Every structure is written in C-alpha cells, then in structure tokens.
Amino acid sequence: MTEREPTFTRQPPTGLLRFFLKSLPLLYRGPLAELFRWRCVMLLTTVGRKSGLPRTGGISFMQVGDHYVSFAGWGVRANWYQNVRAHPEVIIQVGRRRMRATARPVEDPERRRELMLMMQRHSAHCGPPRAIRPLLRLTRLFDYDAEIRLAVAQGGNLPVVEFYPHEEL
C-alpha cells in the first residue's frame, strides 16, 4: 500500500467545549495534572508555524511502549497538527513529567488504522469518566464515545502523531 497524507477535516470545537480545551494549560497543575494523565490528556507545547511563538494546549494521548501517540480528532486543520508538521521539536507534559520530544506524523495509513484500533480498545480508560458521559452527551457538550467511533471510522484518514521523548525537563 502506498503512503499518503491524512485527509480528515472537520470544524473546530465551539462554545463551552472550546473554552474548556483552551483552559487546559491553566488547569494542568499538581494533582490535577495527574488526574488528566490518568484520563489520557497531556499538554503539548509547539512552535507556532506562523508566529514562531510557543503554543500550548491539551490533547488526548495513548502510551505505546516508550513513546506517546495522539490523534488529531479535529483533522488536518488542527493547529497543533499543523504546528508539529512545521516544527517537530516539541515539549510534552504527561502528568507532572515534562519532556522534550520529537513529533513524527504517521504517514502510513495502515499504521494509522492500527493505532486507532488500539486507541479504541484503550478508550474505556480515557476521556471523561463513564459516569458523566451520558450527561455530556445529553447536554450536547461532548460525546466521547461518538468521537471514538468517528475516529475509528476515519481509520487511515485521521492524522496521527507519535511523540518520542528524548530529554526530561
């Protein structure tokens, strides 16, 4: 199979979900950082592709061996994804651990599909706690299970990045 760029796109989040996602860098401290790690959320600091300034946001992740994998659920237009394509040297924070890492987009669609299926199996332990998922779905704030289904359906079209830590900060 030939390698190709992911093609998945969608509109970025709005409203309360956007506010929460933008607030993550402020909330990701101390014991809360460990809680976010436990729910598979890490902080990613990239270099802005246009501004050259540091940009920090929260993204979901899955640990695979000695590195981390993340899926650009908002597609190829996700700012963090575009930034790591332009500047692959990043800083990640997983719980209380901060590390320099190299971001490597996964080019092979079969590998992206394989990682997405791994994430689907792992997803029961991630995202919002199961007890509050129905409330989030009912209020239309966020449907984690539908997001996972959409990501799996996109398979090889979804942008996937592997982060390889190389220096503890």
Q: 3-45, pLDDT tens digit by residue?
A: 667 776 666 777 777 777 788 899 999 999 999 999 999 999 9
Separation of alpha carbons 83 and 163, rounded Å: 14
pLDDT tens per residue, range 148-166 = 888 778 777 889 999 999 9
Q: What is the pLDDT of residue 59?
A: 94
Torsion sign over Cα 150, 155, 131, 56: negative
Residues 6+ apart with CB under 8 A from 112: 6, 106, 155, 156, 157, 158, 159, 160
Q: What is the pLDDT of residue 3?
A: 65
Among 23-32, 48-57, 130-139, which stretch is predicted with the lowest mean pLDDT? 130-139
The structure's pTM equals: 0.84
Q: What is the mean pLDDT of the chain?
A: 88
Q: What is the pLDDT of residue 61?
A: 95
Q: What is the pLDDT of residue 92?
A: 98
Determine the longest span between alpha carbons in the chain, in angstroms: 45
Q: Comparing 5 with 60, which gets the higher pLDDT?
A: 60
Q: Is the pLDDT of residue 1 over 80?
A: no
Separation of alpha carbons 42 and 168, rounded Å: 15
Separation of alpha carbons 162 and 115, rounded Å: 10
Q: How confident is the model at residue 52 (pLDDT cuts 50, 70, 90)?
A: very high
Q: Is the pLDDT of residue 77 over 70?
A: yes
Q: Which CATH number applies to 15-168?
A: 2.30.110.10
**What are the structural domain ranges in the chain?**
15-168
Separation of alpha carbons 164 and 128, rounded Å: 26
